[in-house]
Structure 1
Amino acid sequence: MASKTSRITPPRGVLRNRCRLLAGLLMAVVATSVTAQSPALVGEAAPVKSTPAVIEPAQLETIVVTAIQPLVEKYQVPGVALALTIDGEPYFFNIGDTAMEGGAPVTERTLFEIGSVSKTFTATLAAYAEVKGALDFRKPVSAYLPALRGSAMDSIAVLNLATHTAGHFPLQVPADVRSDEQLLDYFRNWQPQYTPGSKRTYSNPGSGLLGLVAARSLHQPFASAMEEHIFRGLGLSDTYIRVPAEKMAGYAEGHNSKHQPVRLDMGLLGEEAYGVRSSAADLTRYLAAQMQLVKVSGDLEKALAQTRRGYFETDHYVQDMVWEQYPLPVKASRLLAGNARDMIGDQPVVAISPALAVQKNVLINKTGSTGGFSTYVAFIPEKHFGFVLLANKYFPNEERVEVMYKILESLMPDVTAAETDAKQ
């Protein structure tokens, strides 16, 4: 059955701001069944059937609008593409426009900058290289980048890059590093500030280096390897590192805190660490593949699973390869703490040995940001539940988590936990 489209007019005063930001209608694209015609599941891979969600579309629309409305008003967000997967069925809710002025209505195919959610694709490429026998996560970084032999990279395992446990890379590539040669010099001279694997420090250079290792192991440029093995393998039709000219019209305009239009400045290691642009439809398909709701190749399925194994335990969650997983039920406070800015800095971790097997009764999530965009994706494999939030305005991670949690409280209260409960 093909997708059904409906438009809902917000109540008086809902989703309103000074820039006619949401003067238009809230459009909800509700896929009543998962088929090859469904926007979320296009491509060669066939979906796996699941039990349809028992929920009225009008009820779901009310739940979503109630959850997202305060955030859109508070931050004057020009446009939002929100997607839910409920019992394996995709639902799309598109709000506002692709630009503050002169934009087109947001759709589930609108391109957004997804920031650090890109890192999950980078980890998948590295895992794919391992499945193909080209890479070993236990080997040192210098085994794949000969220019770094004789440096600290002789004692940093590739797995440390995938789990932010290499030894305290900075959040960003230093400002005085402006060329590929300077970048190699930086990595050659870098020294860990703690024993690798003893702490977690969130880092773009570390994730970027993982991308370089993965691409080198496959003997391909990073963008080409990602397109061939991951994007194409997943059946993603709206996901790019380099947006084609013919797709630029569908690329939303980001907005900074002053409501000024901004777009991503890629920079060194940007492609590998935060450079992907994607749509709600494609990210919904990506999460569906993680939950085995769509068929992909056996090698790619193994790679996806590898990224969801648990390697380190933090105070709030289990660190997978980039992904962060929480046992269920989970308190809002725990999710908020795990996605707070404090988690960027040095955090103690405990290695899990052997690595934790792939779990189903968990919530797995990742945030992503650029100067003008906000992203949050989460999924619960056991429930066949997925959540995608894309917005062309930056706002804090905690706000994104709260939207998802409010929806979960309404749809699946059994996976949430009251703050007075003993379990987290």
Structure 2
Amino acid sequence: MYPLTKLCAALLLLTGSQCALADKSAAALDALVQSAAAEAMQQHDIPGLAIALSVNGQPRYYNYGVASRQTGQLVSSDTLFEIGSISKTFTVTLAAYAQATGQLSLSDKVGKYLPELQGSPFAEVTLINLATHTAGGFPLQVPDAVQTTPQLMDYLKAWQPQYPAGSHRTYANPSIGMLGVIAARSLHMPYVEALEQQLFPALAMPNSYLQVPASKQALYAQGYSKENAPVRLNPGVLAAEAYGVKTSARDLLHFVEAHLQQTELEPPLKRTLRETRAGYFTVGAMTQDLIWEQYRYPVALEALLQGNSSQMIYQSHAVSQLQPPLPAQDEVWVNKTGSTNGFGAYVAFVPAKQLGIVLLANRNYPNEARVRLAYRILSALE
């Protein structure tokens, strides 16, 4: 855990109380996190849980349970978890970075970068549509019959939209996955290389991978299915671009702190992160950014639960387009969930309050429980 003397200063800035009271607040925070984590782990049979907080620039880490029931290895801040669809935030970061460096424009259409798809409806979709789930209605997953790149291209050529692009939000892996393909192609390198050798180092995330190397396998947590069977990601087509990242609470919190402008970044990358938080469409109380989802702050818990519900994932919703797009905001709650068969993750941050949280578990438990846990902790801090 972070030294209480430094957290004291952070809490003092947040609360305006005396330092002695801030010390008590730090102890109260520790007790609250421990209680909330224990409750969630017991209720959802979670083997291991890593929680990371950023409070006014000061990181704080809490680790509970085991990374593997078989070995009994304890969870640490460097344990690697599958983060599922939180991986998509790196896909849009890569695409926005390619735009910032003049390699592509998010307002361009797919056909400009994938000429082999010219003449198909998919070629007419913009990259912004790919990044905001508004391409026109893809299924959540690439169909099981699509196993190779040629089969994927054939599938995309034959795809027929259910809705006009930009009219409905349909959460889907094929569209955001193709944005990753296009971004990597514009940078003239494979997607795995673009993330592991370019983006992650630039973000100072040395413990983040698409392909966990042998030297780091000991840190890779074992995931557990709903039936408590050991399970890990079985990647399909577009897995890397849509849901394939493995990372630690320490690294992912550093990514959050970069969004909170608490880290030193090269100017193009700094602009890139803000660009990913521009708002393009609204669905109820939620504003759809480039993959990130945001809510005007302060936000009611019910709005977060609705925005992160299974209905928002599995159903299409009519959207209202923001013209021009809404520039990145500070008075907002920004979040993203991520799941694989054996892992459940959640990230949220409030720029105006300089607060952020990372939740990583080696079990896929309900989004509602993740949101409630994060909201309980951040509300206590705010």
TM-score (norm 2): 0.94
Aligned match of 2:144: 175
Query: What whole-Å deviation, never above 9, does each CA across 1:119-158 have from its counterpart, x for those lacking one?
Result: 0000000000000111111111111111111111232001
The structure that is helix-richer by fraction is 2
Aligned match of 1:371: 341
Query: How far does residue 65 in structure 1 lie from its aligned partner after superposition?
Result: 1.7
Residue 357 (1) aligns with residue 315 (2): no
Query: How far does residue 30 in structure 1 lie from its aligned partner after superposition?
Result: 2.3
Q: Does the aligned pair in 1 maintain the 2:114–2:123 contact within 8 Å? A: no
Letter matched to residue 351 of structure 2? P
Aligned match of 1:259: 228
1:327 aligned to 296, 299, 304, which one?
Answer: 296
Measured in 2, the distance between the counterparts of 1:100 and 1:339 equals: 29
SS in structure 2 opposite 1:166?
coil
Q: Does the aligned pair in 1 maintain the 2:223–2:342 contact within 8 Å? A: yes
With over 3 angstroms needed to count, the CA separation of the structure-2 counterparts of 1:33 and 1:244, relative to structure 1, is farther
Query: How far does residue 259 in structure 1 lie from its aligned partner after superposition?
Result: 1.0
Residue 87 (1) aligns with residue 59 (2): no
Residue 53 (1) aligns with residue 14 (2): no
Query: How far does residue 406 in structure 1 lie from its aligned partner after superposition?
Result: 1.1
Letter matched to residue 311 of structure 1? Y
Aligned match of 1:288: 257
Measured in 2, the distance between the counterparts of 1:184 and 1:103 equals: 44
With over 3 angstroms needed to count, the CA separation of the structure-2 counterparts of 1:123 and 1:32, relative to structure 1, is farther
Aligned match of 1:348: 318
Aligned match of 1:211: 180
* Structure 2: tracts of 5 or more residues without a match: 13-21
Query: How far does residue 59 in structure 1 lie from its aligned partner after superposition?
Result: 1.3
Q: Does the aligned pair in 2 maintain the 1:145–1:216 contact within 8 Å? A: no
SS in structure 1 opposite 2:334?
strand
Measured in 2, the distance between the counterparts of 1:259 and 1:240 equals: 25
Identity %: 45
Query: How far does residue 32 in structure 1 lie from its aligned partner after superposition?
Result: 4.7
SS in structure 2 opposite 1:375?
strand
Aligned match of 2:18: none
Q: Does the aligned pair in 2 maintain the 1:86–1:385 contact within 8 Å? A: yes
Measured in 2, the distance between the counterparts of 1:324 and 1:259 equals: 31
2:357 aligned to 363, 366, 387, which one?
Answer: 387
Letter matched to residue 194 of structure 2? A
Aligned match of 1:185: 154
2:40 aligned to 71, 80, 83, which one?
Answer: 71
SS in structure 2 opposite 1:352?
strand
Query: What whole-Å deviation, never above 9, does each CA across 1:28-81 have from its counterpart, x for those lacking one?
Result: x2255789xxxxxxxxxxxxxx96223433211111022222210012111000
Aligned match of 2:211: 242
Query: How far does residue 266 in structure 1 lie from its aligned partner after superposition?
Result: 1.0
Query: What whole-Å deviation, never above 9, does each CA across 1:210-233 have from its counterpart, x for those lacking one?
Result: 100101111110011112331010
Measured in 2, the distance between the counterparts of 1:403 and 1:31 equals: 23
Query: What whole-Å deviation, never above 9, does each CA across 1:350-405 have from its counterpart, x for those lacking one?
Result: 11011101100101000000000000000001111000000001101000000011
Query: What whole-Å deviation, never above 9, does each CA across 1:178-220 have from its counterpart, x for those lacking one?
Result: 1111000000110111010001000011111110010111111
SS in structure 1 opposite 2:202?
helix
Query: How far does residue 92 in structure 1 lie from its aligned partner after superposition?
Result: 0.3
Q: Does the aligned pair in 2 maintain the 1:32–1:89 contact within 8 Å? A: no
With over 3 angstroms needed to count, the CA separation of the structure-2 counterparts of 1:398 and 1:196, relative to structure 1, is same
SS in structure 1 opposite 2:11?
coil
Q: Does the aligned pair in 2 maintain the 1:116–1:273 contact within 8 Å? A: yes
SS in structure 2 opposite 1:53?
helix
Measured in 2, the distance between the counterparts of 1:380 and 1:106 equals: 26
Q: Does the aligned pair in 1 maintain the 2:355–2:378 contact within 8 Å? A: no
Q: Does the aligned pair in 2 maintain the 1:34–1:88 contact within 8 Å? A: no
SS in structure 1 opposite 2:10?
coil
Aligned match of 1:138: 107
Q: Does the aligned pair in 2 maintain the 1:266–1:275 contact within 8 Å? A: yes
* Structure 1: tracts of 5 or more residues without a match: 1-28, 36-49, 413-424
With over 3 angstroms needed to count, the CA separation of the structure-2 counterparts of 1:32 and 1:132, relative to structure 1, is farther
Instruction: Figure out how many residues of one structure are paired with residues of the other and give that number.
Output: 370
What is the aligned-residue RMSD (CA, Å)? 1.5
Query: What whole-Å deviation, never above 9, does each CA across 1:80-137 have from its counterpart, x for those lacking one?
Result: 0001111111110000111122131111000000000000000000000000111111
TM-score (norm 1): 0.85
2:2 aligned to 30, 36, 44, which one?
Answer: 30
